[in-house]
Structure 1
């Protein structure tokens, strides 16, 4: 189970921008530098995001770097150094940095902005929203999710633009209820089910009744998959390949009660879900730890405790830097 609420490029650029501001405010902090280095080395995408930000700062050509190691990268094309404006007042420099980075982030955050403009309902971190549709159906929208309603000309259709939602559909024998999520389409008459869409795949789990889920670009149409209570299916966004599994019907949509139920999921994917319920910025600094698989139930109402319970059996530790940053690594 994974989730990618924002365009990955804009997300990482925003994270890099936050690190620039934090380090600029407290450049002598060894903890800040160590935590930053852990974030930067997490993946090549993190390195690239930081290099892109450094390159933008270097283009100003106005000052010497305030922390030269942070401007260096192992990539051949990395900028020589990150140049930041030098001011006599650190707070003034930070304020100007925030203004500049915010302006740059507008461009990189455009995909997220487009989602907000095109959706009828959008949730933020730790927010669950209940939506009552005109046909009597209800939708519970998970944190950091977006939904668009397309009821028209006798058609009951909604689009899950991002994230996860639990549908309890009112029966109407004259009109099927359709959910479009990425490259997947779900059709029902009256039932209760959960849909979770990411950039990589869409997962449909059934709590009551039956649904038909299929890849929209699949051929032939007979590739439809009928699901009964306790059935789940994950459809790959790129290939349309469907993988079926069994779940406990009572656990479908358990996030609505503040419970995350996972079976043979990677720690990294579970962390991705918990991020939507925690206002702190969470980074998984140990890639090998993230690859470990777990089966269990985690308390989404206490994200910090859930993270600890998740990684502790594998020698992991959650380090808190204030109330806004959590770094997960080995002991």
Structure 2
């Protein structure tokens, strides 16, 4: 029997995190793993098997010329349920060897905190939207496979967006303005209704009512006030230009799991599709950086139909399907 078949989903997750190439991420994972082991002694009997199998996985870059980031990407991008991770992990080596034969090895982006999703205060499953009533009466709707942490007390109302997106109607409390934190920006709610989306490289807020103050995480002096009917994107370079939106159309699209794309990076579209569908999409964000998508995309449409439409728009994209659960997307030539 494959050792991975015997692992709990939790241990499969730790194997991935302990095998990444980035030294800082690996050190962080080792420290967190030490704490986790102390909290879960019931897994002690499986640890010897896990460590042995982890050593084997770490040798893949030498034995099969595969970056360990390639091994970890599918978990980091899709962050599916624990049962799905365990099923995927048992098949990882076979899948990677298939890519070697196809000559399609790529180096994939790596989310920094894959386990944070599972530890979040509120989270949703793949393809699911769910409404939550917060302690202050605010109404929060989490998008598919999204997660948040909350810090609410007598002086502060703060939402940390771990991954994904949410829609919120903020309860009024002049003494405690609600703030939202993402990897790219902080948003201070001066109004009542807005949508926040976070991808690996950027965060976007769409203001549906009143206004919000935005401050870049990467450029302290970079701030802006975003009014109703406007949106702004923040990335590693700071804040982008303020753009106008149709608030009714944006809100309707949110309710119907649609994305209103206007020169949206293809990698961002694929990441959203990973949150809406059980299949896993592997890709390199850097390799696909030239590809931009415009139009209305129904995220819950049949995944194969969506991918086929993307290839029709960009014939240089190459799709490799492995069964019904894995799709590998790469660039075959120059983007148009």
1:132 Cα deviation after fit: 0.9
Cα distance in 2 for residues equivalent to 1:218 and 1:24: 44
Query: Given the superposition, is the C-alpha separation of residues 189 and 272 from structure 1 closer, same or farther in structure 2, using an over 3 Å criterion?
Result: same
8 Å Cα contact 2:74-2:281 kept in structure 1: no
If the length of structure 1 is used for normalisation, what is the TM-score?
0.64
Query: Given the superposition, is the C-alpha separation of residues 22 and 289 from structure 1 closer, same or farther in structure 2, using an over 3 Å criterion?
Result: closer
Cα distance in 2 for residues equivalent to 1:113 and 1:286: 21
8 Å Cα contact 1:141-1:164 kept in structure 2: yes
8 Å Cα contact 1:150-1:157 kept in structure 2: yes
1:284 Cα deviation after fit: 4.3
SS, match of residue 135 in structure 2: coil
Cα distance in 2 for residues equivalent to 1:260 and 1:39: 33
- Deviations 1:215-267 (Å, cap 9, x if unpaired)? 256444xx431111221111224x43443333322343534312111001232
Larger Rg: 1
Residue among 94, 102, 111 paired with 2:113: 111
Cα distance in 2 for residues equivalent to 1:135 and 1:218: 31
The number of aligned residues is 254
Whether 2:212 is the aligned partner of 1:214: answer: no
Which runs of 5 or more structure 1 residues have no equivalent in the other structure?
Answer: 1-5, 26-31, 50-108
1:280 Cα deviation after fit: 0.8
Cα distance in 2 for residues equivalent to 1:307 and 1:279: 14
Cα distance in 1 for residues equivalent to 2:146 and 2:285: 27
8 Å Cα contact 2:259-2:298 kept in structure 1: yes
8 Å Cα contact 2:223-2:239 kept in structure 1: no
Cα distance in 1 for residues equivalent to 2:101 and 2:289: 18
Tell me the residue number matched to 2:264. 265
8 Å Cα contact 2:165-2:195 kept in structure 1: yes
Cα distance in 2 for residues equivalent to 1:286 and 1:213: 26
Query: Given the superposition, is the C-alpha separation of residues 141 and 289 from structure 1 closer, same or farther in structure 2, using an over 3 Å criterion?
Result: same
Cα distance in 2 for residues equivalent to 1:39 and 1:121: 40
SS, match of residue 167 in structure 1: strand
Superposition map of 1:50-199 within 5 A: 111-117=113-119, 119-199=120-200
Cα distance in 2 for residues equivalent to 1:286 and 1:151: 35
SS, match of residue 113 in structure 2: helix
SS, match of residue 275 in structure 1: helix
Which stretch shifts more, 246-255 or 127-136? Answer: 246-255
Cα distance in 2 for residues equivalent to 1:278 and 1:153: 39
8 Å Cα contact 1:38-1:285 kept in structure 2: no
Tell me the residue number matched to 1:62. none
Which runs of 5 or more structure 2 residues have no equivalent in the other structure?
Answer: 1-15, 21-67, 76-87
SS, match of residue 115 in structure 2: helix
Tell me the residue number matched to 1:41. 105
1:205 Cα deviation after fit: 1.4
1:290 Cα deviation after fit: 6.1
Tell me the residue number matched to 2:51. none
Cα distance in 2 for residues equivalent to 1:285 and 1:151: 37
